[in-house]
Structure 1
Amino acid sequence: MVDKVPMTKGGFAKLQEELRWRQQEERPRIIDAIAEARSHGDLSENAEYHAAKEAQSHNEGRISEVEDYIARAEVIDVSKMSGDTIKFGATVKLVDEDTEEEKTYQIVGDQEADVKQGRISISSPISRAMIGKTVGDSIEVVAPGGSKAYEILDVNWS
């Protein structure tokens, strides 16, 4: 059985765009770079050739990876979700019970996670602690940096 990979519509669109870019723009650019480097003669000591081949290997590997994610994608339309219980796609406002610092996170797929933009992976310790909880609940998150306690202030689906 193939494991589905949950992601938002936006995350799926970004993966599709990355795949298009890698196949239609990056791949031909790398092929041209390899051809140019080959024209310089001896390949055994040609750093440009080896760098281009390495870039090609990296690009083709990422293409395979992105194709796999797209094939296994379970696209979830967050705009059609509602309720008070936290699950994939929810945007959750928390307050750190020690520092009173408020944070807002959206729970997204692993490929979409970007903490700086407030998007955390469904498989992260904080997401796993929040799933199934509601406003007013307290959670304890055991993370590499130590244990932290948060109170859930708000759940929304925007």
Structure 2
Amino acid sequence: MNKAFVKEGSDDDEDDVAAAAPALPPGSKYYITRRGFNRLKAELDHLVRVERPEVVSIVSWAASNGDRSENGDYIYGKRRLREIDRRIRFLIKRLESATVVDPEAQENLDQVFFGATVTVCDQEGEEATYQIVGVDETDAGSGLISWISPLAKALMKAREGDTVRFASPGGMRELDILEIRYV
């Protein structure tokens, strides 16, 4: 079959963003910390100013070599350029819709809200510390959990000394809140 009649990928912006973005609850805002916002902004800046121009020059050079159908540099470069452009569109949409929350500006310091760093203790007496952050900032290994995760939802509006219950992959768990900080 002729390549002209084969659809290899979708360039639909909505599909790209929906596939790359973690799901937010319907009607909710896109919350992010200042640190997360700056990280996304730096990534966008790097893609636009450094990576994309490098790939464009490689594709341009490869195209000047002649036959493009068997030119690996050209084919890979065009594919990489589409990936970069998709990520740039995603980052622009995320940054435009972001509601930046500064944890240090929180007024209710005795309750858990977005941006709080919470130290908890489980039934076995093991302590863990989590910070509630935006969906694009999560890193469970570093203790950064999304505000839409079951644990974060259970912690929201709780106070020091409270016990919260939530459904984890291993079943129902209880955690005692030992400390709440906003840093």
The alignment's TM-score, normalised by the length of structure 2, stands at 0.79
Matches of 1:147 and 1:45, distance apart in 2: 56
Residue number among 155, 172, 175 corresponding to 1:130 in the alignment: 155
Residue number among 53, 75, 94 corresponding to 2:78 in the alignment: 53
More strand by share: 1
Whether the aligned pair in 2 keeps the contact of 1:15 and 1:66 (CA below 8 Å) is yes
- 1:89 partner amino acid: G
Structure 1 residue 70 corresponds to structure 2 residue 106: no
Q: Where does the alignment leave 5 or more consecutive residues of structure 2 unmatched? A: 1-26
1:81: which partner in 2?
106
Q: Where does the alignment leave 5 or more consecutive residues of structure 1 unmatched? A: none
Structure 1 residue 103 corresponds to structure 2 residue 109: no
What does 1:1-158 correspond to in 2, within 5 Å? Answer: 4-82=29-107, 83-97=109-123, 99-158=124-183
Q: CA deviation at 1:3?
A: 5.2
Matches of 1:107 and 1:157, distance apart in 2: 10
SS in 1 for 2:91: helix
SS in 2 for 1:112: coil
Matches of 1:9 and 1:45, distance apart in 2: 46
Matches of 2:70 and 2:170, distance apart in 1: 46
Q: CA deviation at 1:129?
A: 1.1
Matches of 1:46 and 1:143, distance apart in 2: 50
Runs of 4 or more consecutive aligned structure 1 residues displaced over 6 Å after TM superposition: none
The alignment's TM-score, normalised by the length of structure 1, stands at 0.91
Query: Paired residues, what number?
Result: 156
Matches of 2:81 and 2:28, distance apart in 1: 28
SS in 2 for 1:149: strand
Percent identity of the aligned residues? 35
Q: CA deviation at 1:47?
A: 2.1
Q: CA deviation at 1:152?
A: 0.9
Matches of 1:100 and 1:40, distance apart in 2: 66
